[in-house]
Homo-oligomer: A and B are copies of this chain.
């Protein structure tokens, strides 16, 4: 009785909040039921199982980040755009660590293809149009940017850079500088080992 009004979307949203509060791997069907003050089994009418719930949270996070990225990129080009996109990821991870962790969830190919992940790839490619890269190199650059953004954000979030002296703000700025320089002078052909 006293229907609470559960829906897959409400559960996903609440699951995302829970993830940000206690960590993505602590998101459990039980915890979510507790949060709605409802019996555990009730959730299984709205969500297939635990994995399904986690996948939905991942998709939500990817979509939210893509929305932010699209807004940040609008009207920007070159280094401005680079910094804007990079900051979207970093800021999102800081504001929503659980959601960010969710976005790293390995999705099966079909789900991934239907996710906002493809928007991310497209936006990174769009950003690179501000630099002079032809096709094979553009893909390499997309992958480099993805690696740096994800690697930096996850190391920073995991405390990998704590305690050390120059603050991470400074490092972040310098890395964006470096990436911009690199993209503007992308080393052409595979260089000879004895360069």
A residues sitting closer than 8 Å to B (CB atoms) are: 25, 79, 104, 106, 109, 112, 136-137, 139-140, 143-144, 146-152, 154-155, 158-166, 168, 170-171, 173-175, 177-178, 180-182, 185-187, 190-191, 193, 195
Contact = CB atoms under 8 A, between A and B. Distances in A.
Nearest to A146: B155
B146 A150 contact: no
Given A147-B147, A173-B190, A182-B182, A140 B166 contact: yes
The count of identical subunits is: 2
B182 A186 contact: no
A140 B171 contact: yes
B178 A190 contact: no
Given A147-B147, A147-B175, A151-B151, A158 B191 contact: no
Contact of A164 (B139, B162, B163): B139
A143 B173 CA distance: 12
A29 B18 CA distance: 26
Contact of A140 (B25, B104, B158, B174): B174
